[in-house]
Amino acid sequence: MSVAHSVSHDAHGDAHGHGHEQSFISKYVFSTDHKVIGIQFLVTTLLMLMVGGALALGVRWQLAFPWESMPLVGRLLFSGEGGQISPEFYTMLFTMHATVMIFLVIIPILAGAFGNFLIPLMIGADDMAFPVLNMLSYWFMWPAIFCFFASFFSAGNGAAAGWTSYPVLSALPQAAPASGMAQNWWLVGVTLVGVSSMMGSVNYMTTIINMRAPGMTLFRMPLTIWAMFITAILQAFALPVLTAAGFMLVADRLLGTCFFIPAGLVVNNADPTVGGGQPLLWQHLFWFYSHPAVYIMLLPAMGMVSDMLANAARKPLFGYKPMVYSMAAIAGLGFIVWGHHMFTSGMNPALGMTFMTSTMMIALPSAIKTFNWIGTIWGGKIEFNTVTLNSVAFVSMFVVGGLSGIFMAAVPVDIYIHDTYFIVAHFHYVLFGATLFGLFGAIFFWYPKMFGRKMNEGLGKAHFFFTFLGANGTFFPMHLLGVAGMPRRYADPYLHPYLEHFLPMNQFMTYSAILMGCAQFLLLFNFAYSMFYGEKVGRNPWKANGLEWTAPSPPGHGNFDVLPVCYRGPYEYSSPLVEEDFLLQTEYLSPPDKAEPVKEPEHA
Amino acid sequence: MRWFWLTFFIVCPIAAVVFCVIAPGMDWWFPSEAGSPLGERIDSLFNLILYIVTGTFIGTQIALVYVLWKSSKKDDERAWFSHGSHNLEVIWTIVPAGILLFIALYQMDVWAEYRVVSKFPKEARKAPVAEVMARQFEWRIRYPEPGRILQIQQQPTDLYAVNELIVPAAKPVMIYLKTQDVQHSFFLPELRVKQDAVPGQIIPVWFEATEPGEYVLVCAELCGWGHYKMGARVVALAEEQFEAAMEELAEEQSDDGFADAGDSDDE
Find the range with the poorest average confidence among A221-230, B159-168, B241-250, B256-265. B256-265
Total domain count, chain A? 1
Beta-carbon contacts of A190 under 8 Å, excluding residues fewer than 6 positions away, are: A99, A103, A144, A242, A246
In this prediction, residue A386 has a pLDDT band, given cuts at 50, 70 and 90, of very high
Residue A598, pLDDT > 50, answer: no
- Half-sphere exposure (Cβ direction) of A155: Cα atoms closer than 13 Å: 7
Amino acid (one-letter) located at A393: A
* Amino acid type, A326: S
pLDDT score, position A344: 93
Mean pLDDT for A513-538 is: 95
Closest Cα in chain B to A342: B196
Angle at A53 between CA A334 and CA A40, to 5 degrees: 75
* Parent domain of A440: 306-537
A312 CB near a chain B CB, below 8 Å?
Answer: no
Contact A416 B103 (CB under 8 A): no
For chain B, domains (ranges, CATH) are 2-67+94-118 (no CATH), 126-254 (2.60.40.420)
Averaged over A263-272, what is the pLDDT?
A: 90
Can you tell me the distance from the alpha carbon of B238 to that of A186, in angstroms, rounded to the nearest whole number? 51
Give the pLDDT of residue B65.
96
pLDDT at A76: 66
Look at residue B144 and give its three-state secondary structure: coil
For residue A414, being part of any structural domain is answered with: yes
Q: B230 near B133, Cβ under 8 Å?
A: no
Strand runs (DSSP E) across chain B, as ranges?
A: 130-135, 138-143, 159-162, 164-168, 173-179, 184-188, 193-197, 203-207, 213-219, 232-237
Q: Say which amino acid occupies A210.
A: N
Section A431-436 average pLDDT: 95
CB < 8 Å from B in window 200-219 of A: none
Query: Using CA atoms, how far apart are residues A376 and A314, in angstroms rounded to an integer?
Result: 9
Q: How many CB atoms are closer than 10 A to CB B101?
A: 14
In this complex, the residue of A175, A279, A480 whose CB is nearest that of residue B23 is A480
Measured CA to CA, the distance from residue B107 to residue A406 in angstroms comes to 12
Of residues B53, B189, B194, nearest to A403 (C-beta): B53
**Which chain B residues touch A496 with a CB distance below 8 Å?**
216, 218, 231
Assess if residue A384 is contained within a domain. Answer: yes
Top pLDDT among A21 and B187 is at B187
Do residue A368 and residue B218 have CB atoms under 8 angstroms apart? Answer: no
pLDDT value at A34 more than 90: yes
Check B182 against A267: CB less than 8 A apart: yes
Look at residues B191, B174, B165 and name the one whose alpha carbon lies nearest to residue B117: B174
A407 touches chain B (CB under 8 A): yes
B216, B188 contact by CB (below 8 A): yes
Nearest by CB to residue A403, choosing from B57, B84, B136, is B57
d(C-alpha B119, C-alpha B130), whole Å: 20
Distances in Å between the Cα of B135 and the Cα atoms of A282, A562, B160 are 20, 68, 14
pLDDT digits (tens, 9 = 90+) for B189-238: 999 999 999 999 999 999 999 999 999 999 999 999 999 999 999 999 99
Q: Is residue A347 in a domain?
A: yes
Asked if residue A17 belongs to a domain, the reply is no
Nearest Cβ partner of A498 from B31, B180, B227? B31
Mean pLDDT of A209-224: 95
Mutual angle of helices A223-254 and A320-334, in 10-degree steps: 10
Question: CB distance from A462 to chain B under 8 Å?
Answer: no
Cβ-Cβ pairs closer than 8 A, A with B, add up to 332
Q: Quote the CA–CA distance of B23 and B17 in Å, as a whole number.
A: 10
The Cα A221–Cα A490 span in angstroms is 46
Domain assignment of residue A375, yes or no: yes
Sign of CA dihedral A100, A103, A107, A109: negative
CATH number (domain holding residue A415):
1.20.210.10
- In B11-158 the beta strands, taken as DSSP E runs, fall at 130-135, 138-143
Q: Given this model, what pLDDT does residue A154 score?
A: 72
Q: Does A425 fall in a domain? A: yes
Residue type, A556: G
Amino acid A79: pLDDT? 60
Query: Which tens digits make up the pLDDT trace of A437-455?
Result: 999 999 999 999 999 999 9
pLDDT of residue A156: 60
Out of A279, A313, A322, the one facing B198 most closely (by C-beta) is A279
Q: What is the pLDDT of residue A3?
A: 40
Edge-first strand order for the sheet with B159-162 is: B159-162, B138-143, B130-135, B173-179, B203-207
Q: How far apart are CA A568 and CA A59, in angstroms?
A: 50
Chain B CB within 8 Å of residue A25 CB: no
Q: Round the average pLDDT of chain A to a whole number and report it.
A: 90
Could you tell me which residues are beta bridge partners of residue A449? none
**Whole-number pLDDT of residue B7:** 94
Q: How far apart are CA A533 and CA B53, in angstroms?
A: 46
Q: How confident is the model at residue A7 (pLDDT cuts 50, 70, 90)?
A: very low
Q: Is residue A261 part of a domain?
A: no
Strands B173-179 and B130-135, sheet pairing: parallel
Asked if A87 has any chain B CB less than 8 Å from its own CB, the reply is: yes
Query: Which residues of chain B have a CB within 8 Å of the CB of A411?
Result: 107, 111
Q: Does residue A9 or residue B33 have the better pLDDT? A: B33
pLDDT higher for A604 or A157?
A157
User: Nearest C-alpha of chain B: how many angstroms from A507?
Assistant: 14
Closest by Cβ to A379, choosing from B57, B82, B201: B82
Residue of B nearest to A344 (CA): B195
- The answer on pLDDT for A205 being more than 60 is yes
* Percent of chain B topping pLDDT 90: 87
Q: Please return the burial class of A157, using the count of CB atoms within 10 Å of its CB with bins 0-12, 13-18 and 19+.
A: buried
Query: What Cα–Cα distance (Å) separates residue A397 from each residue in A60, A107, A327, A436, B60?
Result: 21, 19, 18, 10, 11
Distance from chain centroid for Cα A1:
37
Check whether B266 has a pLDDT greater than 70. Answer: no
Of A175, A349, A468, the CB nearest to B181: A175
Backbone angles phi, psi at B75, to 5 degrees: -105, -65
3-state SS, residue A282: helix
Cβ-defined contact of A487 to B218 (cutoff 8 Å): yes
Whole-angstrom distance, CA of residue A107 vs CA of residue A199: 13
Write down the pLDDT at residue B5.
95
Candidates A86, A231, A105; CA nearest to A160 is A86
Residue-level pLDDT at A355: 95
| H helix and E strand count, chain A | 21, 0
CB nearest to A415's CB, from B49, B71, B192: B192
Nearest CA in chain A to B100: A360
- A102-153 pLDDT, tens digit per residue, is 999 999 999 999 999 999 999 999 999 999 999 999 999 999 999 999 888 8
Min Cα distance A468 → chain B (Å) is 9
- pLDDT on residue A69: 84
| pLDDT confidence of residue A397 | 95
Q: How confident is residue A77, by pLDDT bands cut at 50, 70 and 90? A: low
- Is residue A504 in some structural domain? yes
pLDDT of residue A595: 52
DSSP state letters, A462-473? HHHHHHHHHHHH
Q: pLDDT value at position A78? A: 65
pLDDT in tens, B44-71: 999 999 999 999 999 999 999 999 999 9
What pLDDT sits at residue A502?
96
Contact list in A for residue B107 (CB cut-off 8 A) is: 356, 410-413
In whole angstroms, give the CA distance from residue A548 to residue A456: 21
Residues of chain A found within 8 Å of residue B15, distances taken between Cβ atoms? 472
| DSSP designation for A25 | I
Inter-chain contact B84–A315, Cβ cutoff 8 Å? no
Alpha helices in B72-127 (DSSP H): 86-115, 122-126
- Coil vs helix vs strand at B142: strand
Question: Is residue A489 less than 8 Å (CB to CB) from chain B?
Answer: yes
Q: A9, A69 in Cβ contact below 8 A? A: no
**What gap in Å lies between CA B248 and CA A587, rounded to an integer?**
90
DSSP code for A487: B
